[in-house]
Structure 1
Amino acid sequence: MNFDDIAETGRRIRAAVGTVVVGMEGPLEFALATILAGGHVLFEDVPGLGKTVAARSLASALGLSFRRLQCTPDLLPGDVTGSYVYAPDTGEFVFRRGPIFTGLLLADEINRTTPKTQSAMLEAMAERQVTVEGNSFSLGTPFHVIATANPIEYEGTYALPEAQLDRFMVRLAVGYPDPEGEAEILLSRVRRRQEAADVPAVLEPGGLAEVQQAVERIHVDPDIAAYCVALAAATRRAQHVAVGASPRGSQALLLIGRALAALDGRDFVRPDDIKRVAVPVLAHRLTLTPQAWAQGVDPADVVRSVVAGVAVPPSISAART
């Protein structure tokens, strides 16, 4: 698959999802790029903006199997990973797989389940496997998690620890649609004449893996890699920051930058690709000082100031344009 084919496939996927999800072009592009980069997505925004529909639609367009996990306080780790159950016909305990064994798992309202259950997803997100009673089970590939969280309601919720936030390659906010977009949402529902919305598959089963392998061929200049490192390092020295982005943050910048280049039909990464994703990649990886937290400092603003203060490299890739 060449890069023009990837760009065309990306356009078809966004168009298919756009028939159902209105007004989310930017977040959907970043979510698609994250999946092409092999990562996981956290949608954090107020309820009712279509985050669940967007996840289901992406899974359909990408040709992935889809499971939805409604996170609640009484959810147990075994409800996620699966558990051993007794089989009367054989007299043995057999492993029954949980909903995490799928191509794309939607963990809806992930911050409503306990930290113990949240941690059941950590191994799966990092290593594509789960361990139950000492036995490891591969999840296969592709495997991706899209989680949603409500940032405005704290009663009955459990904040995601930094270790789990770091497993998400990006954290995205949807935002309210403009009046025209909101009207189109209503009219789209009227035209469907039903609540359910079907999105046709753009990729055949196995097609996503082929696209992801093609993204791995994207050229990266050493100065682009150094730029990613410089941005992550600058967050560690930034004002208001107690703990900055880890090397996983700089790697995420590079991986999504490659995916954005592929979606644009290019075989190389530009500095602008990195700058575009700096906030969704780095902001949730920062731990603010207590004083900054009390003052209401927004980590996204910290990342924007870091991007403004780090010199953009005179990239060879940029010169190729």
Structure 2
Amino acid sequence: MTASLFTPLPLGPLELPNRVLMAPLTRSRAEEDHVPGPLMAEYYAQRASAGLIIAEATMAMEGHSSFIREPGIYSAAQVAGWRLVTEAVHNAGGRIVLQIWHGGRACHPLLNGGRQPMAPSPIAISGDEIHTPEGKKPYVVPRELADEELPAIVEGFRIAARNAILAGFDGVEVHGANGYLLDEFLRDGSNHRAGPYGGPIENRARLLLEVIDAVQTEVDLVGLRLSPLNSYNAMADSDPIGLSSWLAERLGGTGLDFLHVMRGDLLGQQQGDLLSPIRERFSGTLIANMGYSASEANAAIAAGAIDAVAFGTAFLANPDLPERLRRSAALNSPDPATFYTPGPAGYTDYPALP
């Protein structure tokens, strides 16, 4: 039988009822101290018809905030807050995994009690500004991490994964994309260090692979998000296709359950076919993301090029996206002015089909 968006998909210990997945979307709706609250539980439960919800980027460790009011998973209060979310999603019949994350050089002292951000190399994000409590500010030059500091970061991800399971999540996605810490180590545009974590691909990928190994000791369902072409956060690599191919080959031997790949560049600066070499080399589930229509997604799944599609802004504005796609119904248009604003407006007030 030819697969489509509405063919069930086994994923680790789960059986997904469809292949319309919800991509992680930062919405800045956490409460004080980065604690998820009832509003977030309502938002995610509304979207429980997704084959799988991949919850938004969540701080694995304290002191590495890149947004205002993004959630964390390092405190007991945060674990309890996320438990409200997972219970709401499960009660609505859904499945949800948590994306765990370290902001790296995309953090700012004004968001982190004056703490200087850290990165593989002391290279600041250029050409953009960050929203802080004092308004938009330039990114600052990060502190270069010492090799001996990296085991503590690996351990932080491991504890975050354990906390995610305590909070009731069905699994974890490691955030290795979009110019945050693990991606900064991967790509040679941001990693200029020497030693065991710099230079050739196998060294630049070392921290990511150590994190995945640590997370797998705590969680049965583990995935990874990658964006080798994405130039967001001033990111670049001299050979993104080669990087993708090497990673797919190496990750295929780790028992990783899924790879979640952003297939393009949000800013349109880097081009290439990432999915074909990844598909050839990675034996797990391949989830693609960025700009898919239902017809393109169905065609790619039917051809065996990918296994599922993660939809982003379409899910933001359409809590019942799978049913709308099934019926070929009109989609609500998202309101960018409310993407990161507090409260329910543009968050939990998008209508579902009657």
TM over 0.5: no
Structure with bigger RCO (C-alpha 8 Å, 6+ apart) = 1
The structure with the largest helix share of the pair is 1
Q: Larger radius of gyration, structure 1 or 2? A: 1
The normalised TM-score by structure 2 is: 0.28
